[in-house]
Chains A and B, each alone.
Chain A
Amino acid sequence: MLRRSPRTLLSVTSAALLVVGLSACGGTTKDSTDNSGSGSQASAAADPNAATKEGLKIAFLPKQLNNPYSDVEVGGGKVAVGEVKGEYKLVGPNDASASSQVSYINTLIQQQQDVIVVAANDPNAVCPSLNQARAAKIKVVTFDSDASKDCRDAFINQATTQGIGESLAKMALEQAGGSGEIAVLSATPNATNQNAWIEVMKTELAKPEYSKLKLVKVAYGNDDDQKSFQEAQGLLQSYPNLKAIVAPTTVGIAAAARYIGSSSYKGKVAVTGLGLPNQMREYVKNGTVKKFALWNPADIGYLAAYAGAALASGQITGAEGEKFKAGKLGEYTIGKDGEIVLGPPTEFTAENIDQFNF
């Protein structure tokens, strides 16, 4: 008996497991699948004139807690929740794994929040819970990174490709002094975001007002500090008449600024692009960099809170074309698929950089 028992143990358990596995037979494959279940609610018509409700419970669920960038984002949200006289709450997991947010969403459902503002770690993993939340009449706004669009009411898009590209071209023109050679120091040759921005920038440069500006080279620093530094050096060696380096990546702009700031080109060649204020502060203070840009993370949280309040008050439903007011940021119109674009990136200069800490 004893001799045979380990096998009995195995056969019993594996049989049980297989029964579970095989209980439904029919052959559902990727092609035959219908994913119709998730989804869209019948929402009531929006009443743009409805008053903003007071005491709304608005909860923020960032990707993870204690991340400096998302701390700034939710900080903006807290201010906005205060302005609409709501109750602010911040919860979040300690790790940014795909599934760790689900328990928190479930808890928020149990606590009967009015709005959940979430940056999804995984666009799909949070979906079933978010839809349960919406079934419980909780409005869901995503920011930072969107969830699948059929499980949230609105998404705060920090910046459009068009907006970033235009802003880069504009800063290049300004910093080069209206004419001359410019170069781009990008991330990797196949970085999706950077390539899209550079494409828009090139289209902009083809316009008459940019006719005196000449883009001589797009160099790639691979988002590696040392490589970016060497590429910046190489650009100046190949193009000694360069007026400006535009780096649409935070690693590139910091490396370029470090090179220019420590070389004889300081004050002659401008550095601009997308950067983080904390990384760029010393170069702005010492005059190497006059202006650079990035979306303001505090505004993302701020706008998300207002969008949530407008949804919960019935002023909007998340449909395209609806308008709502977002405090100091002014009026916003909802775009396709419930997207709300924050607007052009914030420009940082010596005058305002000390107001930002991220």
Chain B
Amino acid sequence: MSEVKKRLTSWDSIIILLTIVVLIIASATVDNFGTSRNFTFMVLDLLPIILIALPMTMIIVTGEIDLSVASTLGFTSALMGWFWNNGLSIEMIIPLCIVIGAICGVLNGFLITVLGLPSLAVTIGTLALFRGLAFVVLGDGAVADFPFSYTDWVTGTLGSSPVPNVLILIVILALIFGIVQHATPVGRALYAIGANDKAAHFSGIRVARTKFWLYVVSGAVAGLVGVLWTLRYSSARADNGSGLELAVVAAVLLGGVSIFGGKGSLPGVLAGVVLLAALQNALRLEDVSGQALNIVTGALLVLSVLLPNIATAVRGNWHRRRLRQAAANAQ
């Protein structure tokens, strides 16, 4: 019974519930929110955040972080433009960009797991490094003449339905990441590492190797998102995706993942991403200015960190009081 109660009052279920409530209220009260076209727009807006959040969730669950993802995105976007200008076929460029993204992840993984450097410092460094490389590749210029069949696929929908093509991609990747995280030994290992990586190590989990591959996967996904971003905006630019890493980390934390590792679930994170995107979309439709939008999302994030802590404190207090009462009764 208390297990069920714990489940229902956990932060991720609260966020999922809140997301559903916001979606219902917005559909009912905000003009043009519940339309099929708005659904398409919203999915396109949250596409980069939700995809990068998948590996980011795993990384944060292990107690680490990867802030270089948006720069990896910008780097692969710039490379995509450069390759395209140099006559490579788009079918070659796409896997190449994903592999290069993975190589960026290898560098992060190497510095963090082999040299044992703190991930925050390393990925702040590579954040600057990859963005710098992006500007070396493409400078201030933009490459725009990507084939219509590809750009149209990214912005388009399945036939005449309102389901965006990219939603299939999101569903497939979310399923893969969700299964790995919540239904395999690897997933359980991630939580063990996050809770206590020494204990995890002594229980036979290959901590360093697991973390290394997480960064590689994170880089590969960032590379894929670089490609999708470029195709969505038909514009390869070195500054694509600037600042996106913060939106991703914000969504992951809002979704109930603990920044200290060991806690959180992917459904919570997915709800966090959708909640942020839905709020922004609805407020924009209501002509709320960009600055006010930042205030709302910022406040929401602070609350998402604050509330679970208050809840834990309150619960702890209550628990202690009950113990004292029980002790008094026994006397």
Residues on A lying within 8 angstroms of B by beta carbon are 1-3, 5-10, 12-14, 16-18, 20-22, 24-31, 33-38, 65, 89, 91-94, 97-99, 102-104, 106-107, 109-112, 122-125, 127-128, 148
Contacts and interface: CB of A to CB of B under 8 A. Distances in A.
B75 to A, nearest CB: 16
B285 A28 contact: no
Interface in B198-214: 204-206, 209-210, 212-213
A38 B233 contact: no
Contact of B142 (A34, A98, A104, A111): A98
Interface stretch (B10-18, B86-94, B265-273, B297-305): B86-94
Contacts of A112: 32
B239 A2 contact: no
B102 to A, nearest CB: 7
20 contacts: A2-B206, A6-B206, A7-B213, A9-B180, A9-B184, A10-B213, A12-B180, A13-B217, A14-B217, A21-B91, A26-B91, A28-B90, A35-B147, A37-B152, A98-B235, A103-B284, A109-B37, A110-B35, A111-B285, A125-B234
A12 B84 CA distance: 28
B145 A33 contact: yes
Contact of A99 (B41, B98, B229): B229
Given A2-B205, A10-B213, A103-B284, A128 B98 contact: no
Nearest to A123: B144
A123 B186 CA distance: 45
Contacts of A26: 89, 91
A17 B222 CA distance: 11
Contacts of B38: 106, 110
Nearest to A33: B147
B56 to A, nearest CB: 13
A18 B99 CA distance: 9
Interface string B256-280: 0000000000000000000000001
A1 B205 CA distance: 11
B95 A18 contact: yes
A29 B87 contact: yes
B96 to A, nearest CB: 9
B91 A24 contact: yes
Interface in B109-156: 142, 144-152, 155
A5 B205 CA distance: 10
Contacts of A111: 31-32, 285
B220 A98 contact: no
Given A98-B142, A122-B142, A110 B285 contact: yes
Nearest to A127: B234
Interface string B163-200: 00000010011001100100011100100000000000
Contact of B95 (A22, A34, A37, A104): A22
Nearest to A106: B41
Contacts of B32: 110-112
Contacts of B145: 30, 33, 35
Nearest to A100: B290
Contacts of A65: 289-291
Interface residue SS majority, chain B: helix
A92 B287 CA distance: 10
A94 B291 contact: yes
Nearest to B186: A5
A128 B285 contact: no
B290 A94 contact: yes
Query: Looking at chain B, what size class is its interface with the partner chain?
Result: 35 or more
Contacts, number: 173
Given A2-B186, A14-B98, 15 more contacts: A6-B210, A10-B216, A10-B217, A18-B98, A20-B169, A21-B98, A22-B95, A28-B89, A65-B290, A91-B289, A94-B290, A111-B285, A124-B233, A124-B235, A128-B234
A109 B38 CA distance: 9
B290 A17 contact: no
Contact of B91 (A6, A22, A30, A127): A22
Contacts of B92: 27
B151 A128 contact: yes
Interface string B41-66: 10001000000000000000000000
B98 A2 contact: no
A1 B151 contact: no
B204 A2 contact: yes
B309 interface: no
Contact of B213 (A9, A17, A91): A9
Contact of B185 (A1, A10, A33, A92): A1
B27 interface: no
Contact of B148 (A3, A38, A107): A38
B181 to A, nearest CB: 9
Contacts of B87: 29-31
Given A10-B217, A22-B91, A99-B229, A28 B149 contact: yes
A34 B217 contact: no
A122 B227 CA distance: 18
Nearest to B242: A97
B69 interface: no
A35 B148 contact: yes
Given A27-B89, A27-B91, A110-B32, A16 B173 contact: yes
Question: Which 10 pairs of residues, A with B, have the shortest CB-CB distance?
Answer: A124-B144, A37-B148, A21-B95, A125-B233, A27-B89, A5-B186, A21-B94, A125-B235, A110-B32, A106-B41
A12 to B, nearest CB: 6
A17 B287 CA distance: 38
B92 to A, nearest CB: 8
A321 to B, nearest CB: 29
Given A5-B184, A12-B176, A13-B177, A28 B147 contact: yes
